[in-house]
Amino acid sequence: MKNYLKLSPSALDRLAEGKYFDPEIVGLFILVDQAGRKGWIYRRRVIGTDTVVRLKLGNFPAFSIAAAREWAMELNQDAERGKDPRARIRSKKARGLTVEQAHLLYMEVMHRGDRKILKPRTLYDKQVIFDRDIRPQIGRKRLVLLTEDECWDVVYAKSKASKVRANKLAGELSCFLRWCSGREGHIAGIGLKAHPAPTLNSNWFATGPIRNKRYLSVEEIGWFFRALVEEPHLYRRALCLLLLTAARRTELFELPASEIVDGLWTLPAERSKNGEPNYVALAPWGQRLSQTNHEWVFPSPRVDGPQRNGWFKSRDRVHARMEKFAGERLARWHFHDLRRTFRSHARRVGIERDIAEMMLNHKKKGLEAIYDQNDELELRADGFARWERSLVEIAEEMKVAGFLGVPYPYPAAPDAEEQAPVSPPPVAPPPRPPLRQSPQLQFAF
């Protein structure tokens, strides 16, 4: 039997542990625990359904009797019409969500991989685009009040710096808003009724040919080394090592010193673009460039962490000096073009195609990815040694090897004859037995 109590502040102060129902409002009661805390609870079945709703408002006296009754009466209006009162609460909460709060829910779902498991690099890029370009402009905006013009203003602001990045920003912003207004967004409690900017287009700005074929020739590598001499020590080390390892920019520039053990750099899967570990065997020059007493191979002088600023300005300075040495305009190059430079010269220095692809940490495809599980660490180490030796020769020819930290004297290449495996003398096959003659058949006609 329910314990009804005529609610008053003095009566509530004297209550012992138990459950006490309000005789005036259906579904409302106050629950007193062993510690004497008094919490307002609503519990009622939705009319015409089997759904039982149980909600908690808070404790008395933070919420007064009048406030609790007003809260319960609003819930009863929905329950008596056959509607779940929680839907109204979720809708009210969704209307107050900011873009930043909604994005937190979005990234939680993306990290869990409820529908699709994303690569670590994809998750990283999504967060970077939001933190760098979206949050500063519309992060505090209420999601339900977000307009199409406000979304496009974010994209056009980015296009002033880079049209390529503006296209990526438009694609990511549209993906986020489509999620908010879709089924997954409703499950997460966002409940955005419609995409506020359906015209967002990741191909809005013309950026010219997407495929980049730029790489540095042998002559340009020489100018590159000469140009590095005038760079600050940290940038000089980093750009040399970037060419030596053929690594991705973020993978190398944010390299913890703990990943290098006895000259072997093991890139973990969580930092790799394709989600697979990579192994880079550093030759003598690479080992010397990677030596450090810091936690990071390229530490920031201002904050506790890797150096994240100044890389593109350093590249521009190096390119300007290269043009000065060349005496003419040179095509612009990007950090990723140094990977393409390695791949384009790999055959010239004696690295097989499959090994070069493994050195770049490119995924195997088709049946090869299923059946060939050999990491070929020895052949990779030989490939990095060959590539480094070819670069040392260019640096020595430019007379800048000492300025760039090349060990002196540099270990000579193993003799080709000693390197070649000694094959056993050919063995003559055993004589074949004479062919057995079949009896001649006689045919009578």
d(CA 145, CA 95): 9
Q: Nearest 10 degrees: CA dihedral of 219, 221, 226, 231? A: 150
The predicted structure's pLDDT at residue 115: 81
- Domain 218-411, CATH 1.10.443.10 — does that match? yes
d(CA 338, CA 216): 7
Highest mean pLDDT (candidates 79-83, 97-101, 154-158, 208-212): 154-158
Q: What is the mean pLDDT of residues 29-47?
A: 89
386 or 422: which carries more pLDDT confidence? 386
Kindly list the domain boundaries of the chain, sorted by start residue: 9-89, 99-187, 218-411
d(CA 329, CA 321): 11
Burial of residue 100 (number of CB atoms within 10 Å: 0-12, 13-18, 19+): middle
pLDDT digits (tens, 9 = 90+) for 392-420: 999 999 999 999 999 989 887 765 444 44
Task: Please report which confidence band the pLDDT of residue 426 belongs to, taking 50, 70 and 90 as the band edges.
Answer: very low
The predicted structure's pLDDT at residue 116: 83
- Domain 9-89, CATH 3.30.70.100 — does that match? no
The predicted structure's pLDDT at residue 208: 64
Task: Please report which confidence band the pLDDT of residue 185 belongs to, taking 50, 70 and 90 as the band edges.
Answer: confident
Task: Please report which confidence band the pLDDT of residue 425 belongs to, taking 50, 70 and 90 as the band edges.
Answer: very low
pLDDT digits (tens, 9 = 90+) for 76-108: 888 888 888 777 666 666 567 899 989 998 999
pTM of the model: 0.59
Q: How far is CA 225 from the centre of its chain?
A: 31
Q: How far is CA 316 from the centre of its chain?
A: 26
Task: Please report which confidence band the pLDDT of residue 427 belongs to, taking 50, 70 and 90 as the band edges.
Answer: very low
The predicted structure's pLDDT at residue 418: 45
As a whole-number percent, the residues of the chain with pLDDT over 90 amount to 51
State yes or no: pLDDT of 350 exceeds 90.
yes
| 310 torsion bin: left (phi>0), alpha (psi -120 to 50), beta (else) | left
As a whole-number percent, the residues of the chain with pLDDT over 70 amount to 89
Task: Please report which confidence band the pLDDT of residue 439 belongs to, taking 50, 70 and 90 as the band edges.
Answer: very low
State yes or no: pLDDT of 258 exceeds 90.
yes
- Closest to 55 measured CA to CA, from 27, 19, 83, 34: 27
> Poorest-confidence range of 192-201, 380-389, 391-400?
192-201
Task: Please report which confidence band the pLDDT of residue 74 belongs to, taking 50, 70 and 90 as the band edges.
Answer: confident
Task: Please report which confidence band the pLDDT of residue 423 belongs to, taking 50, 70 and 90 as the band edges.
Answer: very low
The predicted structure's pLDDT at residue 431: 52
Task: Please report which confidence band the pLDDT of residue 444 belongs to, taking 50, 70 and 90 as the band edges.
Answer: very low
Average of per-residue pLDDT values in the chain: 86
